[in-house]
Amino acid sequence: MILKHIPNYNFTWIDVSMPSDTELRSLALQYNLPLTAVSDCMQSDHLPKIEQIGEYTFAIFRMYDALAEENAGSFQKLTSKIAVFYTQDFLLTIHRIPTDIIENVSQKYAGEPLAQRPFSIVCKLYKNVLETFQAPLHEIDREIDVYEERIFLKKRIPDLLKNLYAIKRKTYLIKRLNLINKMVIELMPLNNEKSPFYGDLHDYFIGLETLTDEIYDSIQSLLNLYLTISSQKTNEVMRILTAFSAFFLPLTFIVGVYGMNFDYMPELHSVNGYPVVLMVMIAISIAIWIWFKRKAWL
């Protein structure tokens, strides 16, 4: 466990990194933390939440994990967790994975008059957590533009459908996480604290939510477009095959009739039988071609 006291604030701020379960229980006893909340800290898969437990406000935030697998398909694989306990004069941040967010916030707002309350710092921490999703969303947006261009240019892309569904899944997870974050942000000022940092957090979240929704809609539209184009290509192939079948079906029928080799088939012994049948086959082919042209099928 790495325990660090953050200086230059009018309240006590302790940051704990990579604690074991035993060390978390020890922290709970030392600072009189609610045991139910500490058990939530031990669960790596817990979703964002905020609740008032006794004198403490307990919150869990989830930030984008830069080391997550490219095709991560769950909240737990895509994000990591920061747990926060705070009162009017105390702030405890707990995270299992090292992060620059704590260091960046603590240095940026040290000595800032408006940031001398734990609630203000929690708002800034939450905003920085949300900012971790900006770069992945913009990267997804760029991927969509590339796929869209190649689809319209009809360039072959290996595993295109698989890749589209992978980025759709990632965006969907962020979109679902936004819904949970929205509920948490709305519940944050229940203790009647007022801070300009909260308004900044709320405004930033609205922008992130809008961006996520736009990207998700773009992916959905691109998938529909790709499936439509693929269906159109399939229909075109089937149309061509049907046209060939229409040409050869009557010709095959004629050849099949005269290929039966019965003894009593007068046409088999006709001197002009062969050229007549060929002329009939050509005439049928021309008639079918004219009919297809009039129907605009060719």
CATH number at residue 76: 3.30.460.20
What is the gyration radius of the CA atoms in the chain, in angstroms?
34
State residue 179's pLDDT score: 94
State residue 193's pLDDT score: 65
- Shared-domain flag, residues 179 and 35: yes
Contacts 24+ apart (CB under 8 A), 233-240: 239/297
- Shared-domain flag, residues 264 and 133: no
Q: With beta carbons less than 8 A apart as the criterion, state whether 204 and 127 touch.
A: yes
State residue 190's pLDDT score: 66
State residue 244's pLDDT score: 78
- Shared-domain flag, residues 215 and 186: yes
State residue 281's pLDDT score: 85
Domain count, the chain: 2
- Shared-domain flag, residues 221 and 99: yes
State residue 235's pLDDT score: 76
SS (H, E, C) the chain: CEEEEECCCCCEEEEEECCCHHHHHHHHHHCCCCHHHHHHHHCCCCCCEEEEECCEEEEEEEEECCCCCCCCCCHHHHEEEEEEEECCCEEEEEECCCCCHHHHHHHHCCCCHHHCCHHHHHHHHHHHHHHCCHHHHHHHHHHHHHHHHHHHCCCCCCCHHHHHHHHHHHHHHHHHHHHHHHHHHHHHHHHCCCCHHHHHHHHHHHHHHHHHHHHHHHHHHHHHHHHHHHHHHHHHHHHHHHHHHHHHHHHHHHHHHCCCCCCCCHHHHCCCHHHHHHHHHHHHHHHHHHHHHHCCCC
Hey, what are 24's tokens? 């978390």
Q: How many CB atoms lie within 10 A of CB 53?
A: 13
- Binned average pLDDT, 10 residues per bin, the chain of 298 residues: 81 88 84 83 84 89 84 81 91 88 88 83 94 92 86 71 86 93 87 77 94 92 82 77 80 81 73 82 84 74
Q: What is the distance between the alpha carbons of residues 173 and 2, in angstroms, rounded to a whole number?
A: 31
Residues ≥6 apart with Cβ < 8 Å to 89: 10, 11, 12, 118
State residue 191's pLDDT score: 60
- Of 197, 230, 263, the residue at which a domain comes to its end is 230
- Shared-domain flag, residues 251 and 223: no
- Here the CATH number for the domain that contains residue 268 is 1.20.58.340
- Of 230, 260, 275, the residue at which a domain comes to its end is 230
Sign of the torsion formed by the C-alpha atoms of 153, 72, 131 and 123: positive
- Shared-domain flag, residues 100 and 19: yes
- Shared-domain flag, residues 287 and 201: no
- Shared-domain flag, residues 155 and 66: yes
Q: What is the distance between the alpha carbons of residues 216 and 167, in angstroms, rounded to a whole number?
A: 9
- Shared-domain flag, residues 184 and 262: no
Hey, what are 58's tokens? 């307990």
Q: What is the distance between the alpha carbons of residues 29 and 7, in angstroms, rounded to a whole number?
A: 23
- Of 184, 199, 230, the residue at which a domain comes to its end is 230
- Shared-domain flag, residues 165 and 257: no
What is the domain extent for residue 247?
A: 235-294
β-strands 49-53, 12-17 pairing = unpaired
Is 295 exposed, middle or buried, given 0-12, 13-18 or 19+ CB atoms closer than 10 A? exposed
- Shared-domain flag, residues 87 and 223: yes
- Shared-domain flag, residues 179 and 258: no
State residue 212's pLDDT score: 94
Hey, what are 75's tokens? 């909240």
